[in-house]
Amino acid sequence: MSKKAETKKVEKKQKKSTSVNLPPENSERVTKLAIEVMEPALRDALRQADGKAPAIEIMSALANAYGGLLVDFLGRKAAVSLMRGHADHVESVEDQPINVEKH
């Protein structure tokens, strides 16, 4: 087995050991909440943080807060599963702009 194949096998095993099956989502409701509630609140928070740190640090703080909320609401394994799903999704649309209305 090639080194690349071995690495993929280990990564797949690690994903299984740290993830859980999440219930299906109502994508229409998720999109509505994202547009009407979450995005405006996040944009307000980002405006408040503007100028207090470099953009990468502001986004890192946002990601840290989001990750903490996921753990608080869902538990560590479910948070990991959800974030892994987000990462896979972002990677799959790498060449297209991300728009909350499409996701």
pLDDT at 8: 55
Integer Cα distance of 30 and 82 in angstroms = 14
Burial of 79 (0-12, 13-18, 19+ CB in 10 A): buried
- In degrees, to the nearest 5, what angle opens at C-alpha 58 toward C-alphas 80 and 28? 50
Burial of 48 (0-12, 13-18, 19+ CB in 10 A): exposed
pLDDT at 82: 92
Integer Cα distance of 75 and 87 in angstroms = 18
pLDDT at 10: 45
pLDDT at 93: 83
pLDDT at 51: 96
pLDDT in tens, the chain (103 residues): 565 555 555 455 545 556 688 889 899 999 999 999 999 999 999 999 999 999 999 999 999 999 999 999 999 999 999 999 889 988 888 666 656 555 4
Integer Cα distance of 94 and 34 in angstroms = 20
Asked if 58 and 52 touch (Cβ cutoff 8 Å), the reply is yes
pLDDT at 100: 55
pTM: 0.65
